[in-house]
Structure 1
Amino acid sequence: MIFSWRQKRANRRNGGGKNGNSDGGIDLELSIPTHFRCPVSLDIMKDPVTLSTGITYDRDSIEKWIEAGNQTCPVTNQVLRSFDLIPNHSIRKMIQDWCVEKRPYGVERIPTPRIPITPYEVTEISKKLEAAAERKDGKKCQELVGKIKDLARESERNKKCIVENGIGFVIASSFESFAADSVEKNEEVLKDLLSALTWVNPLGIEGQSKIGSSTSLFCIALFLNGEDLSSRQHSVTVLRELLSHSSDKKFADGLMEIDSVFESLFKIVKVPICPAATKASLMVIYHMLQSRRSEKLALKLVELGMVDLILEMLVEGEKSTSEKALGVLESICNWKVGREKACENALTMPILVKKILRVSELATEFAVSTLWKLCKEVDDESPVIEALQVGAFQKLLVVLQVGCGEMTKEKITELLKLMNLFRSRLDCFDSSSMGFKYIQRPY
């Protein structure tokens, strides 16, 4: 079988070749032995492994085949008695030798693959980490966490195996244990554990209970309010994962008990560490605003200037950031003080109308809902008139035409009826145009 592996080699002695090759080189084709190829991908195997049927595949290809739910050997179609993948060292050595032999043709030697971590090894590391946490042995705990990180960095396969075998709960439990002992004394090990918690998600219910305990949340709040930028970023990332993956509002309620969290989250948005931290902070704020005690947070955010800050972000904000910022603004407008503050800012209506149908479906829902709250819940007709002046009426008609969710459709219908009462007062509208009867139904 011929493999399209070509390389132009300089022919220095004949100065461009006698056969008219103007670039001074010749085309070479390499014939790769068929048994060096993976039967699935048809590429040279980098990590050959053998199934119980005796057929050898590249590890990455056959793992994807099995993970897709297939229970047969792709070549023989036999039902697999075992899903064990046995490394084929002989084939790997032959492939490596062949690569070395063909090096003059531009073939690079395939490196010897690292042996993937097994669930048993993850369990053993977990036991050692639990024991170190019980002894409050910070040095040993840091060593084990470092080992876990190194193994995860080796491959996505290792990372997946580590996460799926419960390491998240052990790390969360260790974090709570060291935080309960002394945050000041165990600061370094707590930072290492916090860093690991950013990628071992989901933690599961038990892991969430550990990292969401009052002890753990207070420790995270201290790091969130500290000077170490990495720890602040890790803290807000862990909080985002905790609140995003839990349907229980008690964790958000627990954060509400820590006053310093409000200023810390606002600071990350106002003085960004990085885009990821800004988005994580907006997500944490959004989830906290959905809690049973959200009025306290809304009042504090308005006092800090969050409404004006969000509107400034939305002017040039990229898609993901805009979506989250609109969600926070919509939630703040659940409260009178938030609506009043939004109405005071001249950017509010133009930005809300501009973002409709410009970011995402969810962002459109947030923008429409905010518009609805400002026009319906404020005891003043100025928001309605201002919305009309910046083209909200036409934009909302387009949303109906394109299609949207039932709740959004109901709010748009109410807004259009309300705005229609004021249209005749404005010179910017022609009474003979843009009537409802010229709009096609969205079905």
Structure 2
Amino acid sequence: MSIMKDDEMTIPHLFRCPITLDLFTDPVTLCTGQTYDRSSIEKWLAAGNLTCPVTMQKLHDPSMVPNHTLRHLIDQWLHMGYRFDPDLIKMIDPDLSLATLKHDLESQQATMAIKLETLEKIKIVSEELPLQRCGLIQLGFFQVLLHLLFCNGSSPIANLKEEELKLSELALTCVLKLLPFSNLCYLDMLKQDSSLVSFLVLLNQGTSKIKTSLCCLIEIIATSSETKELCEMLGQNPGFLQEVIALLNPNAGASDAGIKAISVLCCSELIQESFVSEGLIDHLLAYISTVNRGQASMALSTLELLLGMENARKAVIKNQNAVHILVKMIFRVSDHAGSESAVSSLLIVCYESLKLREEAISAGVLTQLLLLLQSQCCCRAKNKARVLLKLLRSMWVEDPNVCKLQYGLVDA
């Protein structure tokens, strides 16, 4: 019996994407009620198809809703069904080719060229059928790859060579492929100082692809209950926080991935305080002022969240460019949520400081708010805009000269 036949018998029908017949990795449900793997249905829609592949119904709403229930059932099945089974290993790896690959990765005698060649082969296997991925997991490749990445004795002052960067890129690609089916507790190795140093060296010196992959790993660590303790530990490590904040610099080559990681980490109040102490506010404002409209929204919502803390508000008040940056964002972001966050942030800090209210008016906030009120933005954003206008109005009631025609208002 071929591996394909065995694979088809092994995976429950409901756990297969109807398009690829492969095991779901990120199941999402369409408005028709049919579930597909996200990457598969995105390709289908990108090709110009406007129907549901199974029912052929026209999609009146192309949005996709994550199917968390199905994902949970698959995770349970994987943990129960993918326990180490010698018979299953024999079926998956009859010629011991996977075992040989594992030996080559673990061997101290193997050259860098052999390890790179081995990782290329593992990458191909990890992208194939779930049964092959199961074999990699059962044979302990996930742990081996993590050890290869983070237990190499990297020095914080050493410069990584090109071949070391290539090895890290490949290893991280394989780790992310196996991650949805692996025990995340193995990531606890990052609690060890030596492993964390290796992680930070890659975050600092890595290629854009390495940094992006590490940010994906950080997102998983921040959102999984299995790694909650590890996340809290990382969130109190100044070196880690500084390296993540540094990703917001456009020259780092991974600013998009960096803001996503920061946004997820900031869901923890404890980590919020640590981030603010490490100067995140100034870096967030600088990031918002330099990126395009689509990228700014997540940073604006993160800033709004942080402004619930007194230290964060003080940091904004001290920043000479903060008000001008936020005023520009009121009508510049590409979605309503970004505009709402910009108005909310201004409202918070303007309540704190008369000086900032004056700066906001000088920066043209009145015109921006009036434009927002005439737009198609959500009711919440408009309500907040009205509250901010009311707050600012108290200034021109006391001094009519504050309200200039150029700001879009005249004294009644």
1:343 aligned counterpart, secondary structure: helix
The Cα offsets for residues 132-183 of structure 1, whole Å up to 9 and x where unpaired, read as 667788667644312244x48xxxxx95757994689665432334468654
Rate the CA distance shift 1:420–1:181 in 2: closer, same or farther, 3 A: closer
Counterpart Cα distance in 1 of 2:98 and 2:383: 52
Contact 2:154 2:198 in 1 (8 A): no
2:245 aligned counterpart, secondary structure: helix
Counterpart Cα distance in 1 of 2:98 and 2:341: 43
Contact 2:104 2:118 in 1 (8 A): no
Q: Which one-letter code corresponds to 1:253 in the other structure?
A: E
1:203 and 2:189 equivalent?
no
| Aligned position for 1:258 | 237
Rate the CA distance shift 1:232–1:398 in 2: closer, same or farther, 3 A: closer
Q: Which one-letter code corresponds to 2:200 in the other structure?
A: L
Deviation at 1:261, TM superposition (A): 0.9
Among 321, 337, 347, which residue is 1:372 paired with?
347
Counterpart Cα distance in 2 of 1:406 and 1:382: 28
Counterpart Cα distance in 1 of 2:322 and 2:237: 30
2:269 aligned counterpart, secondary structure: coil
The Cα offsets for residues 92-128 of structure 1, whole Å up to 9 and x where unpaired, read as xxxxxxxxxxxxxxxxxxxxxxxxxxxx68x987666
Rate the CA distance shift 1:316–1:237 in 2: closer, same or farther, 3 A: same
Rate the CA distance shift 1:418–1:428 in 2: closer, same or farther, 3 A: closer
- Unaligned runs of 5+ residues in structure 1 are 1-59, 73-119, 153-157, 438-443
Counterpart Cα distance in 2 of 1:164 and 1:375: 58
1:287 aligned counterpart, secondary structure: helix
* Greater relative CO (CA pairs within 8 A, separation 6+): 2
Among 387, 394, 399, which residue is 1:414 paired with?
387
| Aligned position for 2:144 | 174
Among 228, 240, 243, which residue is 2:219 paired with?
243
Q: Which one-letter code corresponds to 1:175 in the other structure?
A: L
Compute the RMSD of aligned alpha carbons. Answer: 4.8
| Aligned position for 1:230 | 206
Among 327, 343, 350, which residue is 2:317 paired with?
343
Deviation at 1:327, TM superposition (A): 4.2
Counterpart Cα distance in 1 of 2:409 and 2:334: 25
1:225 aligned counterpart, secondary structure: helix
Larger Rg: 1
Counterpart Cα distance in 1 of 2:256 and 2:198: 20
Q: Which one-letter code corresponds to 2:315 in the other structure?
A: K
Corresponding pairs, count: 313
| Aligned position for 2:34 | none
Q: Which one-letter code corresponds to 2:216 in the other structure?
A: R
Among 295, 299, 303, which residue is 1:329 paired with?
303
Q: Which one-letter code corresponds to 2:313 in the other structure?
A: R
Counterpart Cα distance in 2 of 1:179 and 1:196: 7
| Aligned position for 1:144 | 118
Larger CA deviation: 398-407 vs 286-295: 398-407
Q: Which one-letter code corresponds to 1:197 in the other structure?
A: L
Larger CA deviation: 393-402 vs 333-342: 393-402
| Aligned position for 1:386 | 359
Rate the CA distance shift 1:373–1:147 in 2: closer, same or farther, 3 A: same
Among 387, 396, 408, which residue is 1:423 paired with?
396
2:331 aligned counterpart, secondary structure: coil
Rate the CA distance shift 1:194–1:279 in 2: closer, same or farther, 3 A: same
Deviation at 1:281, TM superposition (A): 2.3
Rate the CA distance shift 1:166–1:194 in 2: closer, same or farther, 3 A: farther
| Aligned position for 1:292 | 269
Counterpart Cα distance in 1 of 2:150 and 2:403: 65
2:223 aligned counterpart, secondary structure: coil
User: Normalized against structure 2, the TM-score is what?
Assistant: 0.58
The Cα offsets for residues 56-81 of structure 1, whole Å up to 9 and x where unpaired, read as xxxx99xx99x964499xxxxxxxxx
Counterpart Cα distance in 2 of 1:167 and 1:241: 22
Contact 1:133 1:141 in 2 (8 A): yes
Deviation at 1:205, TM superposition (A): 6.6
